[in-house]
């Protein structure tokens, strides 16, 4: 099939590339000339495991092209995907200006049947607004061109997006037109061979499904963080509790890892947008509000633990940070707990020495050059001259370090672990103060 994807950000680039990989003829359009120029040179603006090689492969095969020409993009295909950003507005609602601009762009140029597919994460009712925008432009042009608007939300995890797309748990199609549903079934058939993963429903239910999924996962994270904070006060070990409740198949082990809060481009934005949607229809979403509040508080937790350990005396101290991205296998620092921690440390007069396998360049982009931020080339380098080690992101490279070197290099042998990746008993045997999330503190034995 011939497909057009508007937007070459995370969702658009992964979507276009994976569709091309199974043989479709894909054009990805964007208004960002620099980004398109980079993509045409084979340079990828984001880090996602396996994506760069897949983009180049499909470019070389002629199945994947990038353009800034909206005429070419609209002319190319009947299936037009909208995969542009929906950043949070000042009140927390999703900003739909880019979605509606794409709808207008398509409507100004279409002269035959189009299926306009909302891939972006959008509030309930967005398809109606897209439909109204397109019809308004067609009426102004004085033409009668048939079209359908479909909701087809993405369910991609950063760090595992290609696998998620190629082997989906479900493919949600929101449409009231059986003909359009069959077109989407045909398009997704290469990803749907072992059993039927396509779930066809009305448009509004499809739009709500995406928000509901992310809000549910965010709720599990905040609930476990709430339990972790309670476990600390009760002298329990949240990791043992996690295993105990995760063994119940009704609960499972996914998304019940306590830590320093969720971040990224999806959960914070989507919980806020769903909260705003509820308030617009005069419903107070008490659980969603609590999820947000717990997450805000949890992002401050590591700093409070550090402040308490050093009796509030942080000025002039240096802290080694392992991890900047909001999760492993990405360079995304949007809403990352590391940012809350670093900004709190700087405000207290401390210096940060940091390492991340992928997010160093992004950190430089956000904060620029500043004397209280030193980005190191190797994880061991951050330890030099540091008062303590703080683990913020659970990259694999941090899981089996040289603990003796850590103890001997740090000014004080203390690790603050925001991801609970080490064993408190083992840390005590290694002569390290180990302060984690929801776990007992065992005095060092050496």
- The catalytic residues are 266
Sheet-wide strand order for 351-355: 373-375, 351-355, 318-322, 388-391, 414-417, 433-435
Structure-block tokens of residue 326: 């909001």
Determine if residue 29 is left, alpha or beta; phi over 0 gives left, psi from -120 to 50 gives alpha, anything else beta. beta
CA 324 – CA 332 distance, rounded (Å): 9
3-state secondary structure 165-198: HHCCCCEEEECCCHHHHHHHHHHHHHHCCCCCCE
CB atoms within 10 A of CB 1: 14
Instruction: Give one word for 7, left, alpha or beta, with left for phi > 0 and alpha for psi -120 to 50.
Output: left
CA dihedral sign of residues 154, 157, 162, 165: negative
Mapped to the 3 state alphabet, what secondary structure does 271-301 carry? HHHHHHHHHHCCCCCHHHHHHHHHHHHHHCH
Reported as type and span, the H/E element at residue 131 is helix 126-141
Q: Which residues contact 258 (CB under 8 A, 6 or more apart)?
A: 224, 225, 227, 228, 238, 242, 420, 437, 438
Q: For residues 207 and 174, is the Cβ–Cβ distance under 8 A?
A: yes
């Amino acid at each position: 099939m011939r497909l057009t994807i508007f937007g070459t950000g995370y969702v658009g680039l992964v979507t276009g590339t994976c569709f091309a990989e199974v043989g479709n003829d894909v054009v990805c359009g964007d208004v960002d000339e620099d980004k398109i120029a980079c993509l045409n040179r084979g340079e990828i603006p984001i880090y996602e495991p396996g994506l760069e090689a897949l983009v180049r492969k499909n470019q070389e095969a002629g199945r994947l092209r990038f353009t800034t020409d909206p005429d070419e993009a609209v002319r190319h295909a009947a299936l037009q995907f909208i995969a542009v950003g929906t950043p949070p507005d000042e009140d927390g609602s999703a900003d739909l200006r880019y979605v509606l601009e794409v709808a207008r762009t398509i409507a100004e140029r279409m002269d035959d049947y189009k299926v306009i597919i909302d891939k972006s994460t959008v509030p309930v009712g967005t398809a109606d607004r897209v439909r109204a925008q397109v019809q308004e432009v067609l009426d102004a042009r004085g033409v009668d061109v048939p079209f359908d608007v479909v909701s087809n939300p993405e369910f991609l995890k950063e760090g595992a997006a290609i696998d998620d797309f190629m082997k989906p748990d479900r493919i949600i199609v929101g449409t009231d037109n059986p003909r359009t549903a069959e077109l989407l079934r045909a398009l997704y058939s290469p990803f749907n061979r072992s059993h039927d993963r396509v779930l066809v429903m009305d448009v509004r239910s499809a739009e709500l499904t995406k928000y509901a999924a992310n809000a549910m996962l965010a709720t599990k994270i905040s609930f476990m963080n709430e339990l972790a904070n309670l476990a600390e006060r009760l002298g329990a070990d949240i990791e043992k509790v996690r295993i105990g409740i995760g063994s119940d198949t009704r609960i499972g082990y996914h998304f019940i890892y306590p830590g320093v809060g969720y971040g990224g481009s999806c959960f914070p934005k989507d919980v806020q947008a769903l909260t705003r949607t509820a308030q617009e229809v005069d419903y107070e979403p008490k659980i969603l509000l609590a999820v947000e509040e717990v997450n805000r508080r949890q992002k401050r937790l590591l700093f409070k633990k550090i402040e308490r350990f050093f009796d509030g005396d942080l000025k002039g101290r240096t802290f080694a940070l392992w991890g900047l991205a909001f999760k492993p296998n990405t360079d995304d620092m949007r809403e990352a707990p590391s940012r809350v921690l670093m900004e709190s440390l700087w405000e207290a007069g401390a210096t940060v020495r940091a390492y991340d396998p992928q997010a160093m360049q992004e950190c430089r982009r956000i904060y620029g050059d500043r004397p209280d931020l030193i980005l190191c080339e190797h994880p061991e380098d951050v330890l030099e001259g540091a008062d303590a080690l703080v683990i913020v992101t659970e990259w694999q490279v941090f899981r089996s370090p040289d603990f003796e070197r850590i103890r001997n290099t740090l000014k004080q042998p203390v690790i603050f672990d925001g991801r609970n990746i080490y064993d408190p008993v083992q840390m005590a045997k290694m002569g390290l103060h180990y302060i984690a999330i929801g776990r007992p503190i065992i005095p060092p034995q050496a």
